[in-house]
């Protein structure tokens, strides 16, 4: 019985061994298959294989996002405009205005985004078109549109300095707007000045339509200056927007300064720091406050070989003055005055101008540039805001910087 029983045990055990080897072979030959077992009433029962390894990535269509979003309105024409794609790449992209003109733009290096490279126009609807191919190999169209802001008014501006011109060392940069500026800080952020010689300077708002930039001290001679106003797209307040960007590049010439003293009746001239002239002069009549020449640093504004002067308050009209150099907007000039040569160097008899002899006036006329400084002392009447555009140098640096719309 024992032998019979043992023989049967061996015969019955062979299939179990084969099963164990078979499972081992399956594991060796297919290591990525894991066989799970679960308890059952009669032992371990194999369950279905479970796949392991890298996750399966679902195949999806290209996903396209436009910025601004479809149907957006009131978009600033200088705001970023782009379209991007995920799960695919772009085939072609176009953004067109109402006239069908394509807006310039470029793809990113991986062709996953496209961005405009030029500003848009005001009050225009722009439409997207093009296609993108997804990893599912299917093409999807690029669609959508948006509309830019409609300004209530467009504000233009102009500089007082011209391209490629040469100015004196006291020349302020003036920017004048066609309408009142409410958001001065936004506008000032769009302004920049670059100089070839390091120059400390600052913007100051003289009123609601005028902002000036001047250096803390006079410009260094031969400084190259570039000024830019990136005004297009700038919201200036109350529905106003900048009409266009403007800029100018100019040069500061040699140092040329005229210094006058109403008490000594002289006008001295300094070129590059060296005195080159000392002329007898007659300034405004001291006994009449309305005729006194103003003390303070004036700036040469313009010059005329012949200029006809009128002053209804003092009952004269179209008086011819030769070699006239304007140094303020209140009627003050340096000019030839042959009628007062006898008083020049001795007493003040003019209506506020600086009277010189014809020869001396011609010498000054020939030498000066717009932007040259005319420093006057001795008069009790001071140059100020009521005397025109270029009273910048009469304001202390601390007061000047306080007139900025931005924190110092």
Q: Residue 364 — φ and ψ, nearest 5°? A: -65, -45
Residue 38's pLDDT is what?
A: 42
DSSP state at residue 312: G
Residue 161's pLDDT is what?
A: 98
Is the bond preceding 68 in cis, omega lying within 30 degrees of 0?
Answer: yes
Q: Which CATH number fits domain 153-253: 3.90.1150.10, 2.60.40.3710, 3.40.50.9100, 3.40.190.10?
A: 2.60.40.3710
From residue 275, give the alpha-carbon distance in Å to each of 145, 259, 265, 279.
Answer: 68, 10, 17, 11
Q: In angstroms, rounded to a whole number, what is the distance separating the alpha carbons of residues 83 and 100?
A: 19
Q: In angstroms, rounded to a whole number, what is the distance separating the alpha carbons of residues 317 and 329?
A: 18
Active site residues: 335, 353
Residue 315's pLDDT is what?
A: 83
Q: In angstroms, rounded to a whole number, what is the distance separating the alpha carbons of residues 390 and 328?
A: 7
Number of C-beta neighbours around residue 168 at 10 A: 23
Arch. (CATH architecture) of 63-147? Sandwich (2.60)
Tokens representing residue 172 in the block: 């302020």
Residue 349's pLDDT is what?
A: 97
Query: What is the separation of C-alpha 61 from the centre of its chain, rounded to a whole number of angstroms?
Result: 41
Q: In angstroms, rounded to a whole number, what is the distance separating the alpha carbons of residues 99 and 365?
A: 54
Q: In angstroms, rounded to a whole number, what is the distance separating the alpha carbons of residues 321 and 338?
A: 9
Residue 48's pLDDT is what?
A: 54
CB 356 within 8 A of CB 260: no
- Whether the model pTM is above 0.85: no
Q: In angstroms, rounded to a whole number, what is the distance separating the alpha carbons of residues 376 and 348?
A: 14
Check: CATH 1.10.10.10 for 256-394? no
The strand pairing partners of 195, in sequence order, are 225
In the chain the first and final C-alpha atoms are separated, in Å, by 111
Residue 52's pLDDT is what?
A: 60
Report the candidate in 277, 359, 361 with the shortest Cα–Cα distance to residue 327: 361
Report the candidate in 296, 316, 300 with the shortest Cα–Cα distance to residue 308: 316
Q: In angstroms, rounded to a whole number, what is the distance separating the alpha carbons of residues 96 and 192?
A: 32
Report the candidate in 393, 407, 132 with the shortest Cα–Cα distance to residue 257: 393
Contacts 24+ apart (CB under 8 A), 345-349: 345/265, 345/266, 345/280, 345/281, 345/282, 346/265, 346/280, 346/282, 347/265, 347/282, 348/262, 348/265, 348/282, 348/283, 348/284, 348/285, 348/286, 348/293, 349/282, 349/285
Report the candidate in 298, 381, 377, 386 with the shortest Cα–Cα distance to residue 334: 298
CB 374 within 8 A of CB 260: yes
Report the candidate in 263, 279, 272, 213 with the shortest Cα–Cα distance to residue 376: 263
Q: What is the pLDDT along the chain (408 residues), one digit of tens a residue?
A: 333 333 334 334 443 333 333 333 333 334 433 334 344 444 454 555 555 666 665 678 999 999 999 999 999 999 999 999 999 999 999 999 999 999 999 999 999 999 999 999 999 999 999 999 999 999 999 999 999 999 999 999 999 999 999 999 999 999 999 999 999 999 999 999 999 999 999 999 999 999 999 999 999 999 999 999 999 999 999 999 999 999 999 999 999 999 999 999 999 999 999 999 999 999 999 999 999 999 999 999 999 999 999 888 888 888 999 999 999 999 999 999 999 999 999 999 999 999 999 999 999 999 999 999 999 999 999 999 988 889 999 999 999 999 999 998
Q: How many residues does the chain have?
A: 408
């Amino acid at each position: 019985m024992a032998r019979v029983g043992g023989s049967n045990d061996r015969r019955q055990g062979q299939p179990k061994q084969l099963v164990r080897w078979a499972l081992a072979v399956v594991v060796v030959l297919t290591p990525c298959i894991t066989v799970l077992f679960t308890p059952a009433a009669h032992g371990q029962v194999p369950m279905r294989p479970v796949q392991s390894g890298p996750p399966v990535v679902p195949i999806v269509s290209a996903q396209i996002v436009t910025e601004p979003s479809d149907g957006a309105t009131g978009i600033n024409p200088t705001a970023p405009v782009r379209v991007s794609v995920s799960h695919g790449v772009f085939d072609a992209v176009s953004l067109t205005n109402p006239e069908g003109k394509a807006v310039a733009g470029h793809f990113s290096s991986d062709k996953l985004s496209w961005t405009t490279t030029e500003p848009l126009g005001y009050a225009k609807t722009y439409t997207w078109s093009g296609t993108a191919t997804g990893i599912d190999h299917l093409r999807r169209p690029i669609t959508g549109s948006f509309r830019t802001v409609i300004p209530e008014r467009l504000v233009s501006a102009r500089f007082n300095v011209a391209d490629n011109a040469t100015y004196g060392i006291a020349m302020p940069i003036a920017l004048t707007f066609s309408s009142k500026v409410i958001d001065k800080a936004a506008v000032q952020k769009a302004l920049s000045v670059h100089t070839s010689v390091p120059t400390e300077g600052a913007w100051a708002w003289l009123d609601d339509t005028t902002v000036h930039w001047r250096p803390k001290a006079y410009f260094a001679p031969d400084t190259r200056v570039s000024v830019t106003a990136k005004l297009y797209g700038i919201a200036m307040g109350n529905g106003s927007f900048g009409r266009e960007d403007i800029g100018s590049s100019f040069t500061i010439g040699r140092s040329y300064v005229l210094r006058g003293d109403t008490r000594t009746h002289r006008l001295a001239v300094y070129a590059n720091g060296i005195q080159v002239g000392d002329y007898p002069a007659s300034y405004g009549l001291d006994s009449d406050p309305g005729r006194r020449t103003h003390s303070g640093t004036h700036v040469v504004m313009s010059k005329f070989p012949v200029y006809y002067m009128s002053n209804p308050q003092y009952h004269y009209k179209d008086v011819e003055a030769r070699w006239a150099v304007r140094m303020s907007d209140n009627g003050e000039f340096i000019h030839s005055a042959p009628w007062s040569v006898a008083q020049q160097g001795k007493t003040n008899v003019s209506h506020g101008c600086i009277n010189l002899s014809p020869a001396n006036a011609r010498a000054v006329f020939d030498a000066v540039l717009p932007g040259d400084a005319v420093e006057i002392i001795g008069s009790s009447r001071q140059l100020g805001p009521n005397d025109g555009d270029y009273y910048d140098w009469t304001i202390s640096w601390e007061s000047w910087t306080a007139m900025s719309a931005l924190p110092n």
